[in-house]
């Protein structure tokens, strides 16, 4: 994917329900397009959870996406801590799912700053996302 699109679009992961509304196709048609190499592949973020990268979907909608394109999240030079609400907004899951993923060591634990105050390093979250993208891309022939 070209770097202009990735820097303008918000980094967000979307689930099937939101994806279906966004592109106007049902689940089976989306999977058919994926099988034909005409739609971006999903990322597996847990045992039963899959998401799509919003920048890749927007590139597909704008007809700028082609099979083999891959998004790469940007890292920051300076530390930046994120609140839980920011993390949930980016990865597109509910709070309970996030904590189940953390318990199973499928997501970074974050840093406890005080009583009921956990923050996640932006680069840790983007590193996790990059690893999921690499796992997906390794499976694509």
Residue-level pLDDT at 141: 64
Q: In this structure, what are the phi and psi dihedrals at residue 122, rounded to the nearest 5 degrees?
A: -55, -45
Threshold 0.75, pTM exceeds: no
Q: Angle 101-57-91 (CA atoms, 0-180°, nearest 5)?
A: 20
- Judge whether 30 and 20 are in contact, CB under 8 Å: yes
Q: Where are the beta strands (DSSP E) in the chain?
A: 13-14, 43-44, 50-53, 81-82, 111-114, 117-121
Of the given ranges (2-6, 53-57, 103-107), which has the lowest mean pLDDT? 2-6
- pLDDT at position 21 is 94
Is the model's pLDDT at 34 over the cut of 70? yes
pLDDT computed for residue 123 by the predictor: 93
pLDDT given at position 65: 80
Tell me how far apart the alpha carbons of residues 36 and 32 are, in angstroms, rounded to a whole number.
6
Say if residue 8's pLDDT is above 50: no
* Sign of the dihedral defined by the CA atoms of residues 93, 97, 101, 102, in that order: positive
Nearest one of 44, 129, 43, 59 to 87, comparing CA atoms? 129
Tell me the per-residue pLDDT of 41-83, one tens digit each, with 9 for 90 and over: 999 988 888 899 999 999 999 988 877 777 777 778 888 899 9
Determine the Cα–Cα distance for residues 104 and 87; give it in Å rounded to an integer.
17
**What is the pLDDT at residue 97?**
93
């Amino acid at each position: 994917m070209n770097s202009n699109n990735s820097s303008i679009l918000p980094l967000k992961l979307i689930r099937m329900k939101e994806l279906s509304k966004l592109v106007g196709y049902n689940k089976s048609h989306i999977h058919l397009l994926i099988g034909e190499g005409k739609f971006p592949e999903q990322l597996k973020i847990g045992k039963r959870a899959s998401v799509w990268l919003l920048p890749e979907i927007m590139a597909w909608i704008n007809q700028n996406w082609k099979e083999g394109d891959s998004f790469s999240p940007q890292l920051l030079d300076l530390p930046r801590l994120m609140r839980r609400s920011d993390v949930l907004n980016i990865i597109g899951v509910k709070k309970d799912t996030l904590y189940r993923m953390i318990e199973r060591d499928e997501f970074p634990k974050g840093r406890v700053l005080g009583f009921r105050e956990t923050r996640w390093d932006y680069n840790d979250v983007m590193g996790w996302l990059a690893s999921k993208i690499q796992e997906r891309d390794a499976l694509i022939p």
